[in-house]
Amino acid sequence: MIPSNLRYHQEHEWVRAEGTQATVGISHFAQDALGDIVFIDLPKVGAKVTAGQQIGEVESTKTTSTIYTPVSGTIAKINADLKDHPEVVNSDPYGKGWMAVIDLTAPAEVDQLMTAAQYETFLSKQKH
């Protein structure tokens, strides 16, 4: 459930870097902890974001969770399908449940994020 080609943030977002762009979403662990996702508030295209900043919110039947961007840059694209089908994040968090594409201003930030193996260790510590 932790794809090896992605990088991970301690707030349970994933990043897939391709050149100067990165796609961002939330991890399987995050969607599972949230339960049924019913609404997602995404940033506006063109918004400038800094790594660690809040860029949106995920609402589930149980609670609200903040989406943080693990990388800095400009929002190039958002997943508009999530407006009517937020549940896709539950069923396919690493695929159709992607949230935003960011034009990176500091691509090196990606290398500072956790690898899949590191994230797995991180999760096992969280679950103690």
Residues that bind another protein (CB under 8 A): 35-36, 38-39, 41, 57, 59, 61-64, 87, 90
If the CB atoms of residues 39 and 95 are measured against another protein, the closer one turns out to be 39
Residue placing its CB nearer to another protein in the complex, 22 or 55: 55
Least Å distance, CB 101 to another protein, is 23
Rounded least distance, CB 36 to another protein, Å:
4
Beta strands in 30-97 (DSSP E): 37-41, 48-49, 54-60, 64-68, 73-78
Specify whether the CB–CB gap between 16 and 27 falls below 8 A: no
C-beta closer to another protein: residue 11 or 103: 11
Q: Are 109 and 17 in contact (CB under 8 A)?
A: no
What's the closest the beta carbon of residue 117 comes to another protein, in angstroms?
28
Give 35 or 95: the residue with its C-beta nearer to another protein: 35
Residue 95, C-beta contacts closer than 8 angstroms, at least 6 positions apart: none
Euclidean distance between CA atoms 28 and 8, whole angstroms: 11
